[in-house]
Structure 1
Amino acid sequence: MPDVSRSNTLVASARGLRPLRALTALFEFAVGSHRRAALVLLLTSLITFLPGVFEIPPIDRDEAYLSQSSKEMMEGGDYVDLRYQHDTHYTKPVGIHWLQVAAVRTAEAFGVPDARTAIWLYRLPSVLAGIGAVLVTYWCALAFVSRRGAMLAGLMIVGSPLIDAEARLARTDAVLLLTITAAMSVLARAYLFGRDEKIARPGWTLVLVFWIAFAAGILLKGLVIVMVVGLTAATLCVVERSARWLQILRPLHGIIFLAILVLPWLIAMYARTGDSFLLQSVGHDTLGKITTAQESHGGPPGYYLVLFFATFFPTSVLVGLAAPAIWARRREADIRYLLAWLVPSWVIFELSATKLPHYVMPLYPAIAILVAGAIEAKTLSRQRWLIKLGVTWWYIAPTIIGLAAVFAAVALVRRPILLAWPLVVAAIVCGYLAREIYGRSVESAVTHAIAAMILVGVAFFGLIAPALSPLFPSATLAELVRASGCPNPAAASAGYWEPSLVFLLGTQTKFVTAPAAADFLHAAGCRFAFVDTHQEREFLERAKAIGLRYAWGPEIGAFNYSKGQAITIAVFSSPDAQSR
């Protein structure tokens, strides 16, 4: 039953402030039943993850790179091999590409126009996986805490800025989060059975969920799920001095089922490429990242700990307050499991040479459940200076982020984006309320802090980011080509070599030098050349040497965030393009 007295106390203390009353009432409604909780988490996830999915152009580089590879699967009709502009693309397994292809093919079947260059379709698997990860975190948490605590854990996943971003990008990480959380949820029930009388023995349905999730994780990102699940199980077996509890998962049958799901594609790839895929994907992309910082993505041990405050905000504020109580209960079965999920894999990630913020994302559900449990048990630290230092950021962060986003829009595009202002103000109000009511109800304070970050995210991704056209020069260039009216335009680019341009303009788009761009424009047909102004002199010298006739189009000022530098792109077109 909902705690009516608690709700009434909070409402009375709000002094007429509607946000406090509304959020408190919504939370109390949600925890009234599992169906309500799932519905509220579903709607909250949609509100959080959908803004910007349809409006923001392709993001360089991973999103555009993966989406283009999926597009080439459809163009060539080959759903085994992985290609980018017809060259091999063996960094990741095939899983995310199959999901993206399924989304685009379904849209084409329903008559969606230009489906293959609609980036939102490639993002749908991530959006759905993000929602699924929230709901599965709720289900996972029910093995450890009450419905109230599980609801908080699910909301913590929704409120994470890192998960918020990944759930709207056409990449593997949101889907991987779902598969790992699902596998770890079943593993938790297998471990806690016999140690917690509330936990029933997982039946064949849950065992199938575990092995399907495990297989999907392998097809998505190779050994990552093997590491997280394997280290958790190994740690628990060492601590317990027994592996008998793993028999609940029917390992012999499961491994056979896993092989049936994974091996056909691996065998097909081996028949096609020999050991090239395994050497590049497993050897270079996965194991190589442990010893070598790839693509300048390195960092010292402690990198993830430092970033954690921002990437899992606002929940990160409470981790320090919850840590003493968690450590005191470390020998209890439920806490032991969550720490086994969290600590060994975190250590491996910290020691690996290559580091990116999203690598530790599959460990966030464990942290959310640990913190939710501490809130439910009322065992958070009561050190006043630590509380004041932490919860003040619930007010400061949305204020800084919201105002910075608004001012960035004014600076970059000379537009105030007025529709975003009410959302930013509401976020600041929610952050302020979260700070003020912490002493009366941590639960309500956390929900307000999460609401503040959701509002900031909706304002930025839904309204501000789509308006920042200088960040998306590929979309501007693609629009120029479409506006020409050419039935079969061809394009080459010198100095600006981002995969988003290939995705929007077509697989045949060429990345060349400035002199080669002039030669490209000299051929017959409707053609466009995009030249970084730093290379413009070379283009013009070559154009003069070969007697090139061309039209000089606009110059596109932009900021290449992949390289962290401002650029200007000159647009040149052939006479055929100008005659239309």
Structure 2
Amino acid sequence: MPFPLDPLDYLTRSHESRRRDLLLLTVLFGLLFLQLLGHFPLIDPDEARYAEIPREMLERGDLVTPLLNYVKYFEKPVLLYWLNAISFYLFGISEFSARLVCALSGLGTVLFSYHLGRELFGRRTGLLAALILGGCTGFLIQARINITDIPLTFTMTVALGSYILAARDAQQPRAGYYYLFYVFAALAVLAKGLIGIVLPGAVIFWHIVLTRRWRILKEMRLIPGGLLFLAVAAPWFVLVCQRNPEFFQFFFIHEHFERFLTKVHRRYQPFWYFIPILFGFMIPWSFFIPSALRNFWRNRAATGGEARLYLALWAIIIFAFFSKSNSKLPAYILPVYPALAILIGTLFDRAFNGDFRPMRRPALAFGWLLTLMGCAALLYPLVAHRPLVGPVGGLVIGSILILQGAVGLAAVKREDARQLFCGLLAGSILLFLTAPHIVFPLFVERKSYREPGEIVKKLAGPDAVLASQGLRQGLGYYAERRCVIFDGPGEIEFGSKIGDQSAWFLNRDRFRALWNGPKPVYAMILRGYLAELSASSAVRPRILWQSSKHYLVTNR
């Protein structure tokens, strides 16, 4: 049977081959997730950090103890390091191979969301959910960045989804999905620590309490499942603790309890911080979150009500957990996106069946707001003192937002759910394809060290010293050598205190002595430090590269 030529007709069918759906979704989002993946250099600190650690693992032949700038670094578990090391081994060290694992994790999350939505609510809802999640500009952009939150989102999505697929039929629980839950919960722990089991455990606990299905505790195969969980998650933790006695206190106490309860990482944000983050990163689908949650509550007693309850618990509990935490970054709430995408998918499914009422208000709101935002984007480069984007960038982004808003308003007038959905999806994908090329160069100029790293790699001999005023992960990654750090160790302070690291962590006086010594020195310094270094140096620094914040200088 040939592939369908009418996307709208294909989208609105209730029954269609699962294999065909998965193939079409893989082709569509595979192109989006993988296109130009290596086009931009790695951004400091996160992307470069999670590339440098596996690079050093391969160089040393040690896949147990993570090192960053060749000192112990225990802030995260090992899953992303291993996967990136495999990618480097297969495809070579590059930006593409550094981001490939996260891009595939994002694609896997979209495909499993389709499977979960289809199993719970039918083929059309599953397809809508996958298109909503994959067509979410914020999710697409973040899934193409080399960060631990993307593998965590994939593994946690499979774990949480597997549980409800196992438990949804009270008469015939599906044991295979329970075991899949334990495997992926263990992988989630290896991706980012104890939240990989704590958060799924909290969602499952409240699902059992609110549905009063205590029998699930017997159905879950807790003993064999627990053993399977430990068989996957425990070996690396045991090995790394054996080789590094200091690991347990730092990782489990400092990185989990102190990080959650205190402001030790200096990432404190107010409780409401993630509300605008969720709204902005899921736009325009975020306008439908309140209606989707109301729809879940009003239809809690209808067919599929327990599944909607579970998805709502999934989103609310994880969102509340990270909102309560004293350490916040935008990517932390990525695991809530799949649950919300499926709930929004059920809302659109109802609209496709003729019930447009829940869509009217959010569609009007986003239509007018996106139109206003588009006008603001057009004017911004013309009125701002130092605009972050130029007139062309403002014109492109503004035009897309205005067009998306206009399509939404027209769809409301006609009460056409298909037009509304397709307009939102097309606008979101178009925004994803254009906005990074306008905005990302700003981050490259400020937070990428590919060019100076490659200069050092080309010019520096084996006896030369690479130094950095503060830790710059990308500098060592691109230069493929260790950096001497002066003016503070930054996030590798813990590792700097293990063993004798005195030759690698210097104050300014000792750095000046190194600079004035016999060895060639290549140093990344802040722009404000150049005059001081010049005044105290026997050899005037020679500038090899500069940015708005830094100079790369040498004493040769």
TM range (shorter): 0.7 to 0.9
Measure how far apart 1:572 and its partner are: 2.6
Query: For 1:107-141, what per-residue CA distance to the aligned partner results, in whole angstroms no more than 9, with x for missing partners?
Result: 2xxxx4xx2xx232121110000000000011111
Partner of 1:537: 531
User: 2:166–2:175: 8 Å Cα contact kept in structure 1?
Assistant: no
Q: Does residue 1:231 correspond to 2:202, yes or no?
A: yes
Equivalent runs, 1:363-382 vs 2, <5 Å = 363-378=336-351, 381-382=357-358
Partner of 1:570: 551
Q: 2:88 aligns with which of 104, 114, 118?
A: 104
Query: For 1:176-231, what per-residue CA distance to the aligned partner results, in whole angstroms no more than 9, with x for missing partners?
Result: 11111111121111221137xxxx64243x34422221111111111112122101
Measure how far apart 1:175 and its partner are: 0.9
User: 1:428–1:452: 8 Å Cα contact kept in structure 2?
Assistant: no
CA distance in structure 1 between the partners assigned to 2:344 and 2:473 by the alignment: 40
Q: CA RMSD in A?
A: 3.4
Equivalent runs, 1:342-357 vs 2, <5 Å = 342-357=315-330
Q: Does residue 1:444 correspond to 2:419, yes or no?
A: yes
CA distance in structure 2 between the partners assigned to 1:393 and 1:148 by the alignment: 29
Q: 2:282 aligns with which of 312, 330, 333?
A: 312
Q: Does residue 1:170 correspond to 2:151, yes or no?
A: no
Measure how far apart 1:505 and its partner are: 1.7
User: 1:528–1:573: 8 Å Cα contact kept in structure 2?
Assistant: yes
- Alignment size in residue pairs: 527
Three-state SS of the structure 1 residue aligned to 2:50 is helix
Q: 1:144 aligns with which of 108, 113, 120?
A: 120
CA distance in structure 2 between the partners assigned to 1:155 and 1:29 by the alignment: 15
User: 2:408–2:424: 8 Å Cα contact kept in structure 1?
Assistant: yes
- Paired letter, 1:363: V
- Paired letter, 2:417: V
- Paired letter, 1:465: F
Q: 2:221 aligns with which of 250, 263, 269?
A: 250
Query: For 1:228-275, what per-residue CA distance to the aligned partner results, in whole angstroms no more than 9, with x for missing partners?
Result: 21012111221233432244432211111111112211111121122x
User: 1:90–1:280: 8 Å Cα contact kept in structure 2?
Assistant: yes
CA distance in structure 1 between the partners assigned to 2:10 and 2:521 by the alignment: 57
Partner of 1:56: 40
Q: Does residue 1:219 correspond to 2:190, yes or no?
A: yes
Equivalent runs, 1:291-440 vs 2, <5 Å = 291-331=261-301, 332-378=305-351, 381-382=357-358, 387-397=363-373, 425=399, 428-438=402-412, 439-440=414-415
Distance 1:188 1:398, change over 3 A: farther
Three-state SS of the structure 2 residue aligned to 1:296 is coil
Distance 1:385 1:230, change over 3 A: closer
Q: Does residue 1:465 correspond to 2:440, yes or no?
A: yes
Distance 1:436 1:68, change over 3 A: same
CA distance in structure 2 between the partners assigned to 1:373 and 1:336 by the alignment: 13
Q: 2:258 aligns with which of 288, 293, 309?
A: 288
User: 2:367–2:407: 8 Å Cα contact kept in structure 1?
Assistant: no
Partner of 1:456: 431
Distance 1:387 1:461, change over 3 A: closer
Three-state SS of the structure 2 residue aligned to 1:263 is helix
Q: 2:239 aligns with which of 245, 263, 268?
A: 268
Query: For 1:26-58, what per-residue CA distance to the aligned partner results, in whole angstroms no more than 9, with x for missing partners?
Result: 745997432332233223323332345201111
User: 2:83–2:101: 8 Å Cα contact kept in structure 1?
Assistant: yes
Three-state SS of the structure 2 residue aligned to 1:492 is strand
Measure how far apart 1:516 and its partner are: 4.5
User: 1:188–1:337: 8 Å Cα contact kept in structure 2?
Assistant: yes
Partner of 1:493: 468
User: 1:406–1:416: 8 Å Cα contact kept in structure 2?
Assistant: no
User: 2:466–2:521: 8 Å Cα contact kept in structure 1?
Assistant: yes
Query: For 1:492-529, what per-residue CA distance to the aligned partner results, in whole angstroms no more than 9, with x for missing partners?
Result: 223x6321212212341222255555433444455322
Measure how far apart 1:443 and its partner are: 3.9
CA distance in structure 1 between the partners assigned to 2:410 and 2:83 by the alignment: 44
Partner of 2:159: 183
Three-state SS of the structure 2 residue aligned to 1:510 is strand
CA distance in structure 1 between the partners assigned to 2:547 and 2:53 by the alignment: 28
Three-state SS of the structure 1 residue aligned to 2:119 is coil
Point out the more displaced range, 254-263 or 422-431. Answer: 422-431
CA distance in structure 1 between the partners assigned to 2:376 and 2:244 by the alignment: 51
Distance 1:128 1:489, change over 3 A: farther
CA distance in structure 1 between the partners assigned to 2:14 and 2:435 by the alignment: 27
Q: 1:120 aligns with which of 96, 105, 118?
A: 96
User: 1:81–1:269: 8 Å Cα contact kept in structure 2?
Assistant: yes
CA distance in structure 1 between the partners assigned to 2:14 and 2:426 by the alignment: 15
Three-state SS of the structure 1 residue aligned to 2:271 is coil
Distance 1:570 1:30, change over 3 A: farther
User: 1:413–1:469: 8 Å Cα contact kept in structure 2?
Assistant: no
CA distance in structure 2 between the partners assigned to 1:337 and 1:473 by the alignment: 41
CA distance in structure 1 between the partners assigned to 2:534 and 2:523 by the alignment: 12
Distance 1:249 1:396, change over 3 A: farther
Three-state SS of the structure 1 residue aligned to 2:39 is coil
Report sequence identity in percent.
21
User: 1:54–1:119: 8 Å Cα contact kept in structure 2?
Assistant: yes
Three-state SS of the structure 2 residue aligned to 1:59 is coil
CA distance in structure 1 between the partners assigned to 2:485 and 2:14 by the alignment: 53
Measure how far apart 1:444 and its partner are: 3.4
Three-state SS of the structure 2 residue aligned to 1:493 is strand
CA distance in structure 1 between the partners assigned to 2:255 and 2:328 by the alignment: 12
- Paired letter, 2:174: P
Q: Mind listing any 5+ residue stretches in structure 2 that lack a counterpart?
A: 488-507
Query: For 1:55-100, what per-residue CA distance to the aligned partner results, in whole angstroms no more than 9, with x for missing partners?
Result: 1111111221222121111121111111112222111111111111
Point out the more displaced range, 457-466 or 157-166. Answer: 457-466
CA distance in structure 1 between the partners assigned to 2:479 and 2:383 by the alignment: 32
- Paired letter, 1:191: A
Distance 1:59 1:219, change over 3 A: same
Point out the more displaced range, 374-383 or 439-448. Answer: 374-383
Measure how far apart 1:461 and its partner are: 2.5
- Paired letter, 1:241: R
Equivalent runs, 1:499-510 vs 2, <5 Å = 499-510=473-484
Distance 1:551 1:88, change over 3 A: closer
Query: For 1:138-171, what per-residue CA distance to the aligned partner results, in whole angstroms no more than 9, with x for missing partners?
Result: 1111132222211111112112333222211111
Measure how far apart 1:390 and its partner are: 2.8
Three-state SS of the structure 1 residue aligned to 2:466 is strand
CA distance in structure 2 between the partners assigned to 1:512 and 1:330 by the alignment: 59
Q: 1:553 aligns with which of 537, 543, 547?
A: 543
Query: For 1:433-474, what per-residue CA distance to the aligned partner results, in whole angstroms no more than 9, with x for missing partners?
Result: 233224432243123213212211211325652486523451
Partner of 1:15: none
CA distance in structure 1 between the partners assigned to 2:391 and 2:396 by the alignment: 16
CA distance in structure 1 between the partners assigned to 2:378 and 2:49 by the alignment: 30
- Paired letter, 1:216: L
Three-state SS of the structure 2 residue aligned to 1:194 is coil
- Paired letter, 2:411: I
CA distance in structure 1 between the partners assigned to 2:406 and 2:226 by the alignment: 51
Q: Does residue 1:475 correspond to 2:456, yes or no?
A: no
- Paired letter, 1:454: I
